[in-house]
């Protein structure tokens, strides 16, 4: 964890992860389908949205740029990751990044490095909380950062399951998550009015038929939060502007009083000099 925290200052190039290029996927029929939130999973993506207070689109942009998985020194090759068949995220959505003005007014917008650092700190904080909780009822409580894409997941997407049934099931589950989350992104971006009312049985089977409706409810909650978060930021920004303007008025009033006091003191000084000159003997 200390090594993970030490990496907070690392630089990342987000340009690579916004739009896929024409040569990214070795399988053209499957190009443009991958969302890293689909790799993370619906439960954990929803938790990250609540933890980081970022929209699904913002979170997706950030985790795509995250190329180091801090588990046993394991790394993800950023060049290989950049070549994955990413679902296209419009670069214009970068402008959605804004500072957290709710608790403290900050001028301007956060840059991407600060966004990443804040995201990592959220992960560190969550992992520390899991460590303090100890073992769960049936297994160790796994911190969220363990679910980010690692080298094994990258190879699974690039090479396929290679006739291994367990890996085939995992890849199919990731694809099902990505399909549903891509629809959510389209709703958030205004490209769809709402989520589809039904999905193929094959998708439900990959996500688990019994839990599919619950997963869909969680995706809808992601959409609600992703639409609410910008509104909350607008309200917080408007409040910060109002408070700043009030402070400006208070300072201007204070300056007027100080200016008047200065003029008064200057007048007293001038009168004193006159009295001093008049009392001198010839």
pLDDT digits 0-9 by tens, 79-94: 888 889 999 986 544 4
Give the residue-averaged pLDDT of 208-224.
91
**pLDDT at res. 10:** 42
Is position 275 within any domain?
no
Predicted structure pTM score: 0.71
Q: Is residue 268 part of a domain?
A: no
Asked whether residue 188 is domain-assigned, the answer is yes
Whether residue 114 contacts residue 56, with contact meaning beta carbons closer than 8 Å, is answered with no
pLDDT tens digit sequence for 144-180: 777 778 888 888 998 898 888 899 999 999 999 999 9
**Mean pLDDT computed over 181-193:** 94
pLDDT digits (tens, 9 = 90+) for 95-135: 445 444 334 444 444 555 666 677 777 777 777 777 777 76
pLDDT at 169 (0 to 100): 92
Model confidence band, residue 76 (pLDDT cutoffs 50, 70, 90)? confident
In the predicted model, what is the mean pLDDT of residues 253-270?
92
The reported pLDDT for the residue numbered 248 is 93
In a domain, 171, yes or no: yes
Range(s) of the domain holding residue 76: 2-228
Flag whether 189 is in a domain. yes
User: What's the confidence (pLDDT) of residue 186?
Assistant: 94
Concatenate the DSSP letters of all residues of the chain into one string: -HHHHHGGG----GGGGTS--TTS-S-GGGTT-B-HHHHH-HHHHHHHHHHHT--HHHHHHHHHH--B--STT-B--HHHHHTS-BPP--GGGGGG----TTTS--SS---HHHHHHHHHHHHHHHHHHHHHH-B-SSSB---GGGGS--HHHHHHHHH--TT-HHHHHHHHHHHHHHHHHHHHHHHHTTSSSS--S---HHHHHHH-HHHHHHHHHHHHHHHHHHHHHHHHHHHHHHHHHHHHHHHHHHHHHHHHHHHHHHHHHHHHHHHHHHHHHHT---
* Ramachandran angles phi, psi of 2, nearest 5°: -65, -40
48 located within any domain: yes
Average pLDDT, the chain: 76
The count of domains in the chain is 1
The answer to whether position 138 is within a domain reads yes
List, for residues 10-69, the tens digit of each pLDDT value.
433 444 444 444 443 333 346 799 999 999 999 989 988 888 788 999 888 878 877 554
Residue 222, in any domain of the structure: yes
Single out the residue of 240, 227, 241 nearest to residue 102, CA to CA. 240
């Amino acid at each position: 964890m200390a090594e993970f925290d030490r990496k907070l200052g690392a630089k990342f190039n987000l340009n690579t992860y916004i739009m896929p290029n024409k040569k990214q996927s070795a399988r053209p029929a499957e190009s443009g389908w991958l969302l890293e939130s689909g790799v993370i999973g619906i439960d954990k993506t929803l938790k990250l949205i609540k933890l980081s207070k970022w929209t699904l689109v913002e979170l997706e942009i950030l985790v795509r740029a995250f190329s180091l998985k801090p588990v046993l020194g394991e790394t993800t090759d950023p060049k290989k990751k950049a070549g994955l068949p990413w679902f296209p995220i419009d670069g214009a959505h970068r402008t959605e990044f804004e500072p957290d003005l709710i608790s403290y007014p900050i001028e301007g917008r956060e840059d991407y490095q600060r966004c990443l650092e804040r995201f990592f700190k959220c992960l560190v904080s969550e992992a520390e909380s899991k460590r303090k909780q100890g073992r769960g009822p049936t297994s160790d409580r796994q911190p969220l950062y363990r679910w980010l894409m690692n080298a094994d997941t990258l190879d699974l997407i690039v090479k396929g399951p290679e006739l291994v049934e367990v890996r085939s099931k995992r890849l199919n589950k990731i694809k099902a998550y990505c399909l549903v989350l891509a629809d959510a992104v389209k709703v958030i971006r205004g490209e769809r009015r709402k989520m589809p009312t039904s999905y193929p049985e094959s998708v439900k089977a990959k996500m688990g038929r019994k839990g599919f409706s619950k997963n869909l409810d969680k995706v809808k909650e992601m959409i609600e939060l992703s639409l609410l978060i910008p509104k909350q930021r607008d309200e917080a920004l408007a409040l910060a502007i109002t408070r700043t303007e009030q402070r400006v008025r208070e300072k201007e009033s204070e300056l007027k009083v100080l200016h008047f006091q200065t003029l008064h003191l200057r007048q007293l000084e001038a009168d004193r000099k006159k009295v001093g000159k008049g009392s001198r003997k010839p």
